[in-house]
Amino acid sequence: MTLQTSTVFAAFAATALTIVLAGTATGQVGKQQGLVDPNIAGETELLALPHLNPTIAKGIMDRRPFLSMTDLNAFLSQSLRKEQLPELYGKMFVHINLNTATRDEILMIPGVGDRMLREFLEYRPYRALAQFRREIGKYVNDAELARLEQYVFAPINLNTASDEDILSIPGLGPRMLHEFKEYRPYKAIEQFRREIGKYVNEKEVARLERYVTLN
C-alpha cells in the first residue's frame, strides 16, 4: 500500500467513524423545537403560551411537577375548554414515556390519531429513542417525525447511560450529571432517590425519576 493510498484510507476511516458516532450519539429525550416543558418553564414563558393567564400559570408552577400528561390535563381542563387544549399542547407538553404512556396520553399529542396510536404501541418496549425514530419514520416524513419526537422519551439506564443521554433530561446540567454518575452502580431506585435527594428537593427528585430506569 502506497503512502498516498494509506493517507486516503485513513481519512476515509476517520470520516466513516465520525458518521457512525454522529448517528448513534443521541439523547433519550426527544430533541426540542420550541415545545415548552411546564415542569421547568418560567412564568414569563408560560404566559406567552395560548390561553394561559396569570392564574393558570401560577397554578401550574404551584402544582408541578406534573408526573404525567393526565395530571396536567386534569388541572388545565378545570379552566380551559376542550377545544383550546390541542392548541396549547402544540406549544407545551409533559414528555410521555414511550413504554408506559396511556392511550389517552398519546392521543393528547396534537395530530396523533388512532392509526398513529397503534404504531406508537406496536413497537414497545422502546430501548432507545433511535428505535422510535426508525419505526415511526416508516409512516411519516422527517419534519413530522421531528415534531413527534419532541413529545416523547425513552427512559435512560442509570448505570449505562452516556453523558449525552443524561444531559437530554430537561433542566439537567453538568453539576447534576456529575451526581448522577458519582453513585454508580445503582442497585435500586430507592438509592437514586436517596443520593440525588442530597442535592435537590423531593419534588425535583420525582421529576428527574420519570426519565430514568434500572431495567
CATH number of the domain at 59, please.
Answer: 1.10.150.320
From start to end of 89-190, where are the E strands?
A: 96-97, 152-153, 156-157
Q: What is the pTM of this model?
A: 0.86
| Residue 2: predicted pLDDT | 45
The answer to whether residue 20 sits within a structural domain is no
End position of a domain, from candidates 154, 173, 205: 154
| Residue 73: predicted pLDDT | 98
| Residue 26: predicted pLDDT | 54
Using alpha carbons, select from 67, 26, 50, 4 the residue that is nearest to residue 149.
26
Task: Show Cβ contacts of residue 208 under 8 Å, excluding neighbours closer than 6 positions.
Answer: 169, 172, 176, 196, 200
The answer to whether residue 51 sits within a structural domain is yes
Please state whether the peptide bond connecting residue 65 to the residue before it is cis, i.e. omega within 30 degrees of 0.
yes
What SS3 state is found at 96?
A: strand
Count Cβ atoms within 10 A of the Cβ of residue 97 and give its class: 0-12 exposed, 13-18 middle, 19 or more buried.
Answer: middle
Per run of 10 residues, the mean pLDDT along the chain (length 215 residues) is 40 36 59 96 98 98 98 98 97 98 98 98 96 98 97 97 96 97 97 98 98 93
Domain count, the chain: 3
End position of a domain, from candidates 154, 172, 204: 154
Look up the domain containing 75 and give its range.
Answer: 35-94
| Residue 106: predicted pLDDT | 98
The answer to whether residue 165 sits within a structural domain is yes
